[in-house]
Structure 1
Amino acid sequence: MELPDVELRPLRRADLPLLGRWLAEPLVARWWHHESSPEAVERDFGPSLDGEDVTALYVAEHAGAPFGLVQVYPIEAYPEYVEELTPVCAVPAGALSIDYLVGEPSARGRGLGTAMIAAAVARGFADHPAAQDVLVPVALGNVASWRALRRAGATWYAAGELSPDNPEDPPDHVVHRFTRRTPSQG
């Protein structure tokens, strides 16, 4: 499947108002359940921008227009996350994870989310040469998200109960896995 061209560029402080707008967008708010006020966006994303947090933040652009956000991070940097995830699935040493959103409603349904995910996985593997896996838990009910993961090349890895981002959701999650391709795999 041919994916649209997507570029990832580092999130900048000047992007925070746009990110706040995206977080307030109804479909994003439904699944991310994140405060969108300027203070909350600064509080939660500012430490990464300042280099105080290991999470890498990127704005996804298509044809020069920003449409989404992706976060890439080593799972082991967050011990509480490792502790929650381990009963559901094995967490390979050095594994990464990503979080993502398509903030512009006009960008949905065009393959851009899938392309953004694929670009984020590639970027994660490039920036973390020892990482062999990217694990991505998604609420079972967020079918569009886990379908985009599959179209981007992930496989279904595990299923189990994790704390949902939105407290209205049940704890049922599916974990998808990307594995680094070796040169012989192409």
Structure 2
Amino acid sequence: MEVTLRPLTRADLALLGTWLREPLVAEWWHDDPNPAALERQYGPSIDGRDPTVLRMGEVDGVAAGFVQWYRWADEPDWAAELAPFLRIPDDAWSLDYLVGEPTLRRRGIGTALVRAALERIGPAPVVVPVQAGNAGSIALLRRAGFAVVAHADLEPDNPAHGRDHVVLARA
């Protein structure tokens, strides 16, 4: 299976909002799916005013998921929170991903999304903190070539989760 990545556009925001309402996605992303909130969050990157790279993942021309990647250097507050637990290389990146279409989950699409993003990031280090209870995401990252490098006490994306995080890095 081949996943292709294309830039996220404003026309994709409604679909992304639908995906963010999916119970499994909402559990871990906990983002506001309303149109105005999506515009505030993703509009600056779509316009090139924020360096975060936003991509829709497609399988056979059908939108299946979303992946974003960003330099830790561009997220200094987030990097500072992680710093007591792990030295982040100056050129390191991180990423977030989701498979939005429920019927396409558990088919390797998430792993393919991450691998496609890694190809575009290139050889730079990639460091991804994951809430410790998200066993599926941890397993996916391991399948994509990541290894656990630290455990950290970090603010969770979803306030219902604990602060325990597993930090993985591309091996």
C-alpha deviation, 1:63, in angstroms: 1.0
SS in structure 1 at match of 2:48: coil
TM-score with structure 1 length normalisation?
0.90
Number of the residue aligned with 2:5: 8
Unmatched 5+ stretches in structure 1: 126-130, 180-186
**Matching of residue 150 in structure 1 with residue 142 in structure 2:** yes
Number of the residue aligned with 1:172: 164
Distance 2:104 2:145 in 1: 20
1:34-113 to structure 2, matched below 5 A, reads: 34-113=31-110
CA RMSD of aligned residues (A): 0.9
Number of the residue aligned with 1:184: none
TM-score with structure 2 length normalisation?
0.97
Distance 1:159 1:109 in 2: 26
How many aligned positions are there?
171
Distance 2:168 2:137 in 1: 11
SS in structure 2 at match of 1:72: strand
Amino acid at match of 1:42: E
Number of the residue aligned with 1:121: 118
Distance 1:178 1:9 in 2: 23
SS in structure 1 at match of 2:66: strand
**Matching of residue 137 in structure 1 with residue 129 in structure 2:** yes
Unmatched 5+ stretches in structure 2: none
Amino acid at match of 2:15: L
Amino acid at match of 2:51: V
Moved over 3 A (4+): none
Distance 1:78 1:169 in 2: 22
